[in-house]
Structure 1
């Protein structure tokens, strides 16, 4: 498949991590060693999670990312292929990104993220995939890769006429030049507060603010007013992948031509379904599951 010959519904540009999760009775104090009760490895990274969510929601999805030349990178690349994602992977000399996660008996955690290869998703990597970005219907980005690369990807996609979505996580201050490139920004309630509120985002040039509110659903804010998308009633057991599920489903729905209200309803359903299962990638719902809940 050559870059210029294929138009994707959704292109995701972002991070790929291997999550290393240790379960402990209590989190260690500085200088202390504690015994763990369980250890597991999971695919992760907001970029990878959202690419899988988009694909499972039904979108023809491409993913631009950086992986190390290591076993973790091989594992994550295989997952992308198994999920049916068109993986545009740049092999990097740094290790694949890792998240080191300790979880105690009460569900509290401490997390150390080592970006590794993700930190090298540079402007040259974005430029190498210009054709893919120019031929996308929707571009979805997050903030776990260099900010300059996010801005470049958004700018190229806008030239091609794509609709652009930014999930501003982890939250950081964003200047007007990047916000003006966002048709839709999709923060949670904590991230939108750190960014100065929805009104400030609209004033900076964002067209639509979609705020995920967890168990309270989704709020859509535009220059014309606010709209509340009610939550779906589910039994939530783990919200780890809920936000990424919502982002991927929203991108898929917008690419299919749905308006923002219908797209946000599907995003709310996807987030709710993800909260009913453990893990991130393992919890992301399929098209049929989303259809069933929405209808």
Structure 2
């Protein structure tokens, strides 16, 4: 059982279904509304936990009703929340508009931005106890950087899902073991808006895994050979949380080697888009193994 430490965000997702995404200044009549637990950190923690990992979460919730609900949800999912703090502010929220399996998201960080580097120092033992550390960019950048320092101090691989995407500072890039952008985030992360992603992958062998939706994922071996792990064909209804499922699975299965971890992460991500909501469709280990008996 892989011990995964997730340092990241915990949000409540307010999801609107719409026949199409509104243009600037336009009002579109929606067709449905739902509230789901979310946040990239919590989503990835839940994904890894359902796939059999022993997951511990470091994060921050507000002292509001959303905070209480989100804390209870993580407990139900088997995530160790002893290091989830509470701040006297509102919990993070994300408003998500879903249309024809695409989505557009606006996040208000709230309590997530009250997770500071010194809070990680207080729970440094969690880094020593982990097999893999996983983070994202919905908490302060300084906190993510410090998580990378602590992971390195204890010799633990650190995965970073660079979302919401920014050009990554060199000091953070150099400290991360594995970066996991999607195809939209890849060039922005490297500050190469007109670059060729294939060439850039080869220039950073073993450092980057680029997820590409239904097309699967791409990465380069230490030899410089570009590798492609194909995706799985499914009937998709909602892509929200697919990337988080991919990342949680990648962390859970990383001890099996990069090729196998990516293969399983592709399958987990495919399963997740067959249901509405970020966490609702995240598969269990049994569901994943049954699904992977099908041809890719």
TM-score, length-normalised on structure 1?
Answer: 0.88
Deviation of 1:101 after TM superposition, in Å, equals 3.0
Which of the numbers 47, 63, 66 marks the counterpart of 1:69?
63
Distance 2:109 2:238 in 1: 24
Deviation of 1:198 after TM superposition, in Å, equals 6.7
Task: Check conservation: 2:242, 2:273, Cα contact below 8 A.
Answer: yes
Distance 2:97 2:159 in 1: 31
Which of the numbers 84, 88, 92 marks the counterpart of 2:87?
92
- 1:268 matched to 2:266? The reply is yes
- 1:152 matched to 2:152? The reply is no
Distance 1:143 1:111 in 2: 15
- 1:4 equivalent in structure 2: none
Distance 1:227 1:133, change over 3 A: same
- 1:22 matched to 2:20? The reply is no
Which of the numbers 180, 183, 187 marks the counterpart of 1:186?
180
Task: Check conservation: 1:265, 1:294, Cα contact below 8 A.
Answer: no
Distance 1:121 1:206, change over 3 A: farther
120-129 or 107-116, which deviates more: 107-116
- 2:278 equivalent in structure 1: 280
TM-score, length-normalised on structure 2?
Answer: 0.88
SS across alignment from 2:167: coil
Question: Residues 81-114 of structure 1, C-alpha deviation per residue, up to 9 Å, x if partnerless?
Answer: 001100121101110001123446x566553211
Distance 1:248 1:182 in 2: 16
Could you list the structure 1 runs, at least 4 aligned residues long, displaced by more than 4 angstroms after superposition.
24-37, 106-110, 197-203
Task: Check conservation: 2:202, 2:226, Cα contact below 8 A.
Answer: no
Q: How many residues align?
A: 285
- 2:243 equivalent in structure 1: 243
Question: Residues 54-93 of structure 1, C-alpha deviation per residue, up to 9 Å, x if partnerless?
Answer: 1011100001110000110000000110011001211011
- Please give the root-mean-square deviation of Cα atoms over the aligned residues, in Å: 2.4
